[in-house]
Amino acid sequence: MISSPKILDITSIRNDFPILNEIVNGKQLLYFDNAATTQKPRLVLDALSGYYEHYNANIHRGIHHLAEKATAAFEESRRSMQRFVNSPLAEQIIFTYGTTDSINLVAQTYGRKFLKEGDEIIISTMEHHSNIVPWQMLCEEKGCILKVIPINEEGELLMEEYGKLLSERTKFVSVVHVSNALGTINPIKEIIEKAHAVGAKVLIDGAQASSHLTIDVQDLDCDFYSLSLHKIYGPTGMGVLYGKKELLDAMPPYRGGGEMIKEVTFEKTTYNELPYKFEAGTPNIADVVASKFALDYVESLGKENIASHENELLQHATNALKEIDGLRIIGNAKEKVSVVSFVIDGVHHQDIGVLLDQQGIAVRTGHHCTQPLMQRFGITGTTRASFAVYNTIEEVDRFVTGLRKVVKMLA
C-alpha cells in the first residue's frame, strides 16, 4: 500500500534557515532562485563551523586524533551519499567540486580513453552548458560527432527522434534528468535502456533532480550519475560522481597528486584504488563533512513530502501567472519539478529581475546557461522562479503581486 505524502510544517522548516530572515531593500527576503542554489539549514551551517572549530585536520594520512575524526566524518558522508543514490558500493561515489566537474571528469577520462574518431555522442536541446561544452571539446580533440535530441513546444524530448539518432556508431549519451530552465523531468530510464540496446554508455546530469526526485542508480541502470550538493541544501563547491565500478576501474586518473597514488618513484607511479584514484590533493573536507547533514535533513523531511509541497507551489504559481496579460510560460511539460520560466510581451527579463529585487524578491533572469535552448524558443532569456521546501503559498502570492506591479511600471 502506497502511503500519502505527509503535510509538512513549513513554518517550523523556515525557522531552520537563518537567511530567510534577511531584509532586502527594506523587505523580508523572498527567495525564488532555488534552481541556482538552495539555502542552507542551521544544522549544515553548524556542521561547517563545528568541523573547523573542533576537528580541522587533513584526512586519510594522519594518525593523530583530529585526523582520524575528520577522516571518519569524511567517509561517513560518502556512505550517506551511497545510500542517497542507492549505489552498490561506497567506493563508487567520487567526490568532485560539482556537477560540472563530474561531467568533465567523465569526458576527459572515459571519453579520451574509449571514444575515437567517428564515434557519436548524443545530448539534448535542453542541456546546461556544462553538459554541452565538455563534449564539444572532446569532439574537437577526438573527431567524434555530437548529435542533439530535439524537443517539442512544451519543452519535452522527442523520443521518436532520439530513437532515430541511435545507431551502432552511438557510443555515449549524456542527458539532463531535469531541465534547470524549464523544469521538465526527462524519461531517463527509457533513454538509458535505448542507449544500452546499441551498446552506448550513459551519463545523467542530476543537478536539478537531486533535491526533488528519488534517485536510484541501480534501478535506472545508468553508467554515470552526477550531482551538486549546493542544490540539495548543502554547501557549495561539493559534488558527486557515481559510476559503475568496472567503468571507474578502467578509467585513467583525472588529476595527478597526493592521495590518488599508491607508490611514486621518478621512474613510475602506480595509482590508488577507488575512490581515491579520482580524488587528488587535499579535498574540500569541510563541505564534504557538512553534506551528510544536508542529506540527513532531506531524509528527515522525506523526498515524497517535499515534492508534494513543491508541486502545490508550482500549480498555484502557474495558475496565477497565466492570469497576467502578455505572460507566456516557457516549458509546459506534463512532468515537471517546481520551476516556472516565463516571458512577458514587451518587457525585458532583466528589467523584471531588477524591479522584483527592489521588492526583496529574488528570481533568476537570463539564459540560465542554456543558450541553445533559448534559441530553440526564439528568445534571449526568461524570468525563472524556482521553489524549495521552505517556500509558501503566501510567498507565491506576494511574488505575483510584485510582478503585476512591475508590469504596470514598465507598460
So what's the pLDDT on residue 315? Answer: 98
139 is catalytic: no
For each successive 10 residues of the chain (411 residues), what is the average pLDDT?
Answer: 78 98 97 98 98 94 90 96 98 97 97 97 98 97 98 98 98 98 98 98 97 96 98 96 97 74 64 80 93 97 96 98 96 97 94 96 95 95 98 98 93 72
Q: Which of 27, 137, 12, 5 is nearest to 399 (CA)?
A: 27
- The torsion of the CA quartet 331, 337, 343, 349, rounded to 10 degrees, works out to -140
Gap between the Cα atoms of 224 and 346, Å rounded: 43
pTM of the model: 0.95
So what's the pLDDT on residue 267? Answer: 65
Gap between the Cα atoms of 252 and 233, Å rounded: 32
So what's the pLDDT on residue 5? Answer: 83
Residue 256: count other Cβ atoms within 10 Å of its Cβ. Answer: 12
The bridge status of strand 201-205 relative to strand 170-176 is: parallel
Class of domain 45-299: alpha beta
Q: Which of 386, 234, 227 is nearest to 297 (CA)?
A: 234
Amino acid at 359: Q
Contact 91, 274 (CB under 8 A): yes
Catalytic position from the list 139, 144, 222, 369:
369
Gap between the Cα atoms of 323 and 318, Å rounded: 9
Rg, the chain, Cα only: 22
Gap between the Cα atoms of 158 and 106, Å rounded: 26
> Positive or negative CA dihedral for 33, 220, 249, 168?
negative
Phi–psi pair at 173, nearest 5 degrees: -125, 130
Cβ neighbours of residue 405 under 8 Å, at least 6 residues apart? 355, 359
Q: Is 348 helix (H, G, I), strand (E, B) or coil?
A: coil
Phi–psi pair at 245, nearest 5 degrees: -60, -45
Taking the domain 10-37+302-410, which CATH number applies?
3.90.1150.10
Contact 331, 181 (CB under 8 A): yes
End-to-end CA distance of the chain: 53
